Structure 1
């Protein structure tokens, strides 16, 4: 059965990730001359754990619960598998972004500003789309009231 806590936790995680996306966009906009090195270092440390926490909640609690609903939806199985695969891609991409942010934060700009901006925008735009999809599809399923038996 869906719980209000699961929906709330998923939405809170999504809100945190959107805030990180906004901060990543600010870094991308600041390239090449106005980069906040402390912000880069903070983002390099915060991104991976936050993304992992959000994905872990979804994969270990939300997805299994949605697959076990009283009214199974066969089409949901394929969608959830696609979301799991996107999670893996996002984690791999996040590692690259974290390394780049750490280098910028430490003053080691090993990647050209144009390339760094392209990496950041590709990552946060993809993550925003993923979150929007989950909010449109999964959040309503988590918030749906349980089916009431009908009396005949």
Structure 2
């Protein structure tokens, strides 16, 4: 399996978790999908981190090779900033899902739904952009 295939598999796993988050958000507050919350809370941070590492290994060198040094470096810095933000947001989403599982969330249903939606929409846009970069050969 090529590096790009491995990265695409990571994207598919991450987008699958986004789909689970969307289903959880859609079901609140009438029903809490405990199995879905547990699975996403466990898998989300590590899956996101694995994808970010693959991007460091596969996408970032391709950006460096295809663009002038300054432009490539600025793009990589922006993507790394997004990675940091997404990693922090994934940890917060995981904590919130765990709080839901233990009936101790300090947030309103609306706030939880908004948080989940903001996260999965951001991740979906991020993946779409990086797929476009790869498809266009950076």
The normalised TM-score by structure 2 is 0.90
Aligned-residue RMSD, C-alpha: 1.6
Rounded Cα–Cα distance in structure 2 between residues aligned with 1:140 and 1:49: 28
Match of 1:62 in 2: 59
The one of 103, 117, 120 aligned to 1:121: 117
Aligned match of 1:132: 128
Shift of 1:65: 4.5
Partner of residue 90, structure 1: 86
Secondary structure of the corresponding residue to residue 141 of structure 1: coil
Could you tell me how far 1:140 is from its partner in structure 2? 3.8
Unaligned runs of 5+ in 1: 143-152
Distance apart, 1:79 and its partner CA: 1.4
Partner of 1:145: none
Runs of 4+ in structure 1 off by over 3 angstroms are none
Among 37, 44, 47, the alignment partner of 1:47 is: 44
CA gap of 1:44–1:28, structure 2 versus 1, over 3 A, is same
Measure, in 2, the Cα distance between the counterparts of 1:56 and 1:111. Answer: 32
Higher-helix-fraction structure: 2
Partner residue, 2:67: 73
**Using the alignment, how far apart are the partners of 1:140 and 1:120 within structure 2?**
30
Work out whether 1:10 is the aligned partner of 2:7.
yes
Contact 2:63–2:76, Cα closer than 8 Å, also in 1: no
Partner of residue 28, structure 1: 25
Match of 1:108 in 2: 104
The number of residue pairs the alignment matches comes to 136
